[in-house]
Structure 1
Amino acid sequence: MKKQLQDLQEYLAQNNLDIAYISKPSDIHYFTGFYSDPVERILALLVFPDKDPFLFAPQLEVEASKDAGWDKDVFGYLDHEDPFALMAGHIKDVAGTPSKWGIEKDDLPVQKLEAIKQQFPDAQFPTNLSRYMENAKLIKTPSEIENLKAAGAEADYAFTVAFNAIKEGRTEQEVVAEIEYAMMKKGVMHMSFDTIVQAGANAANPHGGPEKTPIEKNELVLFDLGTVHNGYISDASRTVAFGQPDEKSLDIYKVDLEAQYAAMDAAKPGITAAELDKVARDIITKAGYGEYFIHRLGHGMGTSEHEFPSIMEGNDMVLKPGMCFSIEPGIYIPNVAGVRIEDCVYITEDGCEPFTHTSKELTYIK
């Protein structure tokens, strides 16, 4: 049994919980090696303090879970069947009628919680396992680091494709299509999120998307992309110059790069998340762009695109070896330009190492 499961069983025993109901797909993958998004169907991992866990899944996912390496019981159900009634029967066969449940309260929809209560009217839900998962996934193991490195290498390849795909007259959407097609040809099954390509003023919308308008010469082009490797994600951003952007755009880039380099240098054991955010934010603020840095410096990552720690003002969490997160200062001036430079890193004994290695010095594309 994976150590992650053993740790959860110990947690259940120590906290007098009878059962853990794990339903977030990335958390199921963390424990089992199997990933699937069931959409409206029911996919759950049931864990007990002193009995073997089991998976409950749509019948069409049963063989896939075994192929992924899950070697405990997996019980399937058909679409016309009542999944919660069937699942309750399997739970009772294993553990009787559990009273105290741990559930992921941040992610479990109300209607599914009500369905559990209907099967177990006396059940209590004292523990939010979302907090447990945040802490359990906080320090990555060596094998997790290796998967994140592999995902980072795939992102570096995607940047090479991306930079070569920029041509006058091509739209942002066409460049996205070329990137994702090339990654599929390389064997990447999934991007970790919708690939972002934004040129000129469109890049001033941090969570905007690619548009149908052609990319024009003499503007900055922002890329934000990542892949999934064995269930672990990469997430990185680069901004390049297509032609010769104006001086304002170049100054924004220079300041953002200085902030990113400074934060990379400062990221090490002992500094707090808030202190690290301040390193980058102070540089951007001093240069006069503070009001345009409108998000935290970074977010944790692993089997999910956003995990703990959150690198932001007010978070006094002390960084420790094995923590993984993004360092992504951004400057977004409406109707002018946007710049974001991002690497995900892991904390070492005396600093940090990035998962991506594509140059951050401003690349000019003719």
Structure 2
Amino acid sequence: MTFVIENGAMIGMVGLALFFILGTVLPLFSHDHWAIRIFDFPRVQISVGAAVTLGGLLVLGPSSFGEYAVVVVLGACLVYQIDHILPYTPLAPTQVRTAMGNEGESISLLICNVERPNRDAESVLTLIEDVDPDLFLALETDSWWIEKLRDVEVRCADALTHPQEDEYGMALYSKLPLVGPEVRFLVEEDVPSIHTGIKLPSGAIVFLHGLHPRPPHPTHGPDTTERDAELLYFARQVQDRDAPVIVAGDLNDVSWSYTARLFQNVSGLLDPRIGRGIYNTFHARYPLFRYPLDHVFHSSDFRLAELEVLPYVGSDHFPVYVELRYDAEAPEDHAEPTVDDVEEAQVQHELDKLYEKQKERGPSASQGET
């Protein structure tokens, strides 16, 4: 009886191991289908599951070549997963220097994907009042949400609103003057993005770009082609910037994905989470399945004063608050990411996939400025 139980336990452990191995290997394939790319997201969950399973296999004791092979491969997968996650823990060096005292000029930003069907506007309004940010970037805002945020707009110096009756409306509310605010459609004609200059009290102009590309999901889009293309197309646009830049929003991608890393290297922007934490923001209602989908990247002109994931406001996303300090001397503190020829070729390959897809759909296909 003991043999039967132990044998059954080993079979179960091997089955789990094969699942975690598959979840590690699938994202290595250059395919945009959501069922493959979705495994970019749960690297923390796969790491924990793989570690527990590996421990179980070692306790039970592998007794055949196949079982030993599973142990070795699972161990390699665990190391691979940890390598992706480690930069987003305090064990790694920070990429953005912490601001000391009052150095630099402060600019604070609250990002909140309100989740369009969510009607708990009171929680969002209370949060805005408590946090009192210089800038409030709201995502998934339909006309109902724009009306509920009317008091916020009245109290602000400037605002840019673009409601949509789907999941892609956006709005920016600012206590600071906006310079040349515009809504652009980078890749798809129904997926907007916000772009504007922000005039600081000193007179310096900082450029803010709010993005919310379509996610890889069977109900939104079966693949990641448009999402990847929007991120990389925009990365090229800010690559040769000559002014301070902040990019923020729900990018529907995790920090450690292939596309996110490529975005950072091409754009040369910094990630304040590196060396500090993962900062999971989605899904707010399922603690075991949370991922860092809401992002802030910025140029080397800033140091970090504060970065925080804020409490639940009825949405499937947690809000994110960041305070940066602009300082013309800050670039001396930072080493910007760089891109090599291979990565440039990868970017072009991703954009070419979008062009081919648009060509197949014909001139009536939904497409933006690309």
Same fold flag (TM > 0.5): no
Q: Select the structure with the greater relative contact order (CA < 8 A; seq sep ≥ 6).
A: 2
With structure 1 as the length reference, what TM-score do the two structures score? Answer: 0.29
